[in-house]
Amino acid sequence: MLRRPEALLVLNDATVFAGEAAGVLPELGIATGELVFNTALSGYQEVVTDPSYAGQVIAFTYPHVGNYGTNPDDDEARRPFCAGVVVRDLVATGSNWRSRRGFEDFLVDNGVPAITGIDTRRLTRHVREAGALPCAMGIAGAEAVAAAARSAPSTTGRDLVSQVTIERPTTRPGGPRRVVVFDFGVKETMLRHLSGLATLTVVPASTPADEVLAMEPDGVFLSNGPGDPAPLTGPVTAIAGLLGKVPIFGICLGHQLLGLAAGGTTYKLLFGHHGTNHPVRRLATGTVEITSQNHNYALEAGSVPGASVTHVNLNDGVVEGIALEGAGAFSVQYHPEAAPGPHDARYLFERFERLMASGVPRRGR
């Protein structure tokens, strides 16, 4: 039986959880980040490699993690950007015909800190009451870990997108149209879906509007990404410069940035939406979609001038979708590519295709 060193997880409200160290801890034996919980029953590799978790420590509510191993086809980014992983039971040996490597080996290979043996039920109940809190975990002793937790950063006010975006534009061949993808932390599965519609030019988050328009795209996609949208003034300015000139589809952080570019405001949720089972009502039809979500911030209801709300979260009433009909733009807060998760919302790709086919808007090109 594998013997692991004892470790502590300490939240910055001084709540302490005892467990065992796993993965790779930094040289000082302590890792820090903002703790959130994810309710997905599977898809742990896709979750860990989602760039939207930059700056965050992911606690999995499902007790057994790693049971089917990992394989390169399920990576959603070039590497994990999360600050750490918390689990109840880290399975030593994955068992699945697709598996190429165990989950802990995957964490070690990618330098991801982890802690196992944590009472994640108690931890989740605490975060639901106290909110997503900065935390520290490690083997450096109770006082050192507690001190690190007190000084650990939250995601509020931080530009985390600059840590995950690409450095220079890249092209991905695909369908007959041309789409520019803003990489705020885009996932591989999203690019696969979009490439079914168009040849993609993936650009850094800092790309200005005039450079995008010079590419003469049929549409612009605003991707998911990590953290607080408020400090991302450059992307907001770029999106504002594209509104009304080219069809726009945004998801997750891209949804929030579209709202900010149109004059709206955002706020931080208590513990965010992280999982694959969030019910969302599509207001146009009354149907309920089960959705995959990963975000800590949201658009303030009624704050976006001229926007119609298209989707609403049935758990807490959060705005899950908007449309700016006059500008040829729409967005949703959740992940229609669903990796992992249900496929209820994949019709949104068809909606984007119809918007691009309509030829509206095309002003200023």
Indicate which residues carry an active-site annotation. 252, 335, 337
332 contacts 255 by C-beta, under 8 angstroms = yes
- β-pairing, 84-86 vs 56-60, is parallel
Q: How far apart are CA 236 and CA 238, in angstroms?
A: 5
Q: C-alpha distances in angstroms, 270 versus 63, 103, 118, 318, 361?
A: 23, 30, 22, 12, 37
- Rg value, the chain, Cα: 20
The dihedral formed by the CA atoms of 76, 82, 88 and 94, expressed in degrees to the nearest 10: 40
Region at 190 (left for phi over 0; alpha for psi -120 to 50; beta for the rest): alpha
Euclidean distance between CA atoms 259 and 305, whole angstroms: 9
Scan for tokens 């050192």, then name that residue.
144
